[in-house]
Amino acid sequence: MPDTHPDTTPHTAAGPSEGLPATTRLWHLVSRPQGTPTADDFALVEAPLAPPAEGEVLVANTHLSVDPYMRGRMNDTKSYVPPFALCEPLEGGTVGVVVASRASDVIVGSTVQHMAGWREHAVLPAAQVRVLDTDAAPAPAYLGALGMPGLTAYVGLTAIAGLTEGDTVFVSGAAGAVGSLAGQLARKLGAARVIGSAGSPEKVAWLVDELGYDAAFDYHDGPVAQQLRDLTREDPVDVYFDNVGGDHLEAAIGAMADHGRLALCGAISTYDATEAAPGPRNLMLAVARRLTLRGFIVSDHGHLAGEFHRTVGPWLTSGEVRYRETVVEGIDRMVEAFLGLGTGANTGKMLVAV
Ligand SMILES: NC(=O)c1ccc[n+]([C@@H]2O[C@H](COP(=O)([O-])OP(=O)(O)OC[C@H]3O[C@@H](n4cnc5c(N)ncnc54)[C@H](OP(=O)(O)O)[C@@H]3O)[C@@H](O)[C@H]2O)c1
């Protein structure tokens, strides 16, 4: 879907000094959170806005993504992405509009996606932005349903869990960005029964009434293992899409069918833990039931992005697969939006509108 403009004329129209602010605001991480992050771990900083150099573009960001993986980058530990540096601009998925360009292949007015998020404006090499086709989908969708979270749902179900026709699928965190897509895509890809868990009655109703889940439960209503067992006693789970970890993972292991597959996507219930979370106490069932538990990181599966767009793009356009965004207004509320991921403040993808 990317729409790159093969225009090679020089773009001198909007220089950075013409009507653009001399400064911009951006977020720093100023201390490494211990447990749940607090507002004091972050600072909104005003910085000079440099004009783009040769080969660079200046982007006015319109929507900034907050994602659970960012919590891991706030720790000073080795992982699949490096930690955020203290007192440097934070990063994350973003869409915006090019307001000045010294790159012949990205013209002023283009809507672009890039990783210089948590800030109002970004100056970056044109090679680091991807021009978006906003006729195909609104720009914010490229941060959610049509972007990394949507691809994560698709990869987890297909490449990792090997979803097959007739499977019973359980998705935790089912009303979030990844989960809300995972349940619907499972159905479209042939699942016979789809079950979800989420954190409020409103989210449970959304899953069942609008997204087509066969059943869903609020994990606050009682032990997850008991609620899941009640729903799967006659029909055990073939595929578990794990966004939550902890008690959800243990409950799912207990509800799996023989030869069941568990796609370990995330474990948000453990991200703020200050000590190692206990493992599932029933792991021996993985032996007895010949289960496959497989973790994955979506960025290892970029080669599936084209297939994902071709398959899922039309379903999103037609409304066969639905998505929702929770949009927090104002860059000054970015930390509130990020912390809201841990309290379930979002339904669907959490975004900040600049
Ligand atoms: N492996 C990968 O490549 C990859 C890529 C993207 C995302 N992920 C993972 O996928 C998961 C979902 O990410 P997302 O971007 O779609 O976020 P999200 O689900 O849109 O937002 C997080 C949601 O997690 C739920 N939650 C928070 N604390 C919880 C807890 N203690 N127990 C149960 N639920 C809790 C909240 O919903 P409730 O109201 O339902 O509690 C919240 O809305 C995360 O674990 C993330 O790390 C992995």
pLDDT for 89 beyond 50: yes
What's the gap in Å between 223 CA and the centre of ligand 1? 19
What pLDDT score does 278 carry? Answer: 85
CA atoms within a 13 Å half-sphere pointing along the CA-CB vector of 244? 24
pLDDT for 1 beyond 60: no
Q: For ligand 1, atom 43, which residue shows the shortest CA distance?
A: 344
Instruction: Give mean pLDDT, residues 45-63.
Output: 97
Instruction: Give mean pLDDT, residues 63-84.
Output: 95
H-assigned helices in the chain: 69-73, 148-155, 177-188, 201-209, 224-232, 246-255, 284-288, 305-318, 334-343
Atom of ligand 1 nearest to the CA of 349: 20
Atom of ligand 1 nearest to the CA of 267: 45
pLDDT for 150 beyond 60: yes
pLDDT for 61 beyond 90: yes
In sequence order, which residues have a C-beta less than 8 Å from that of residue 64 and are 6 or more positions away? Answer: 92, 93, 94, 117, 118, 119, 331, 334, 351, 352, 354
Q: Where residue 205 falls among pLDDT bands split at 50, 70, 90? A: very high
What pLDDT score does 277 carry? Answer: 84
Q: Ligand 1: residues within 6 Å at CB?
A: 67-69, 149, 152, 173, 175-179, 198-200, 203, 243-244, 265-269, 296-298, 341-342, 344, 346, 350
- The per-residue DSSP string of 265-334 comes to ---GGGTT-SSPPPPPTTTHHHHHTT-EEEE--GGGGGGGHHHHHHHHHHHHHHTSS---EEEEE-GGGH
Q: For ligand 1, atom 19, which residue shows the shortest CA distance?
A: 176
Question: Could you tell me the pTM of the whole model?
Answer: 0.95
Q: Where residue 13 falls among pLDDT bands split at 50, 70, 90? A: very low
What's the CA gap between 86 and 108, in Å, rounded? 33
- Minimum mean pLDDT range among 90-99, 162-171, 250-259, 268-277: 268-277
What pLDDT score does 14 carry? Answer: 41
In sequence order, which residues have a C-beta less than 8 Å from that of residue 303 and are 6 or more positions away? Answer: none
Atom of ligand 1 nearest to the CA of 200: 39
What pLDDT score does 15 carry? Answer: 42
Cα torsion for 110, 116, 120, 126, to the nearest 10°?
-30
- Tell me which H or E stretch contains 261: strand 256-264
Instruction: Give mean pLDDT, residues 327-333.
Output: 98
Burial of 229 (0-12, 13-18, 19+ CB in 10 A): middle
Length of the chain: 354
Atom of ligand 1 nearest to the CA of 175: 40
What pLDDT score does 18 carry? Answer: 64
Mutate to test the pocket of ligand 1, among 79, 200, 243 (most ligand atoms within 8 A of CB): 243
**What share of the chain has pLDDT > 70, as a percent?**
95
* Short-list 43, 35, 123, CA closest to 90: 43
pLDDT for 12 beyond 80: no
Please state, in angstroms and as integers, the Cα–Cα distance from residue 270 to each residue in 42, 142, 304, following that order.
21, 27, 29
Q: Are 312 and 150 in contact (CB under 8 A)?
A: yes
Instruction: Give mean pLDDT, residues 268-292.
Output: 95
Backbone angles phi, psi at 285, to 5 degrees: -65, -25
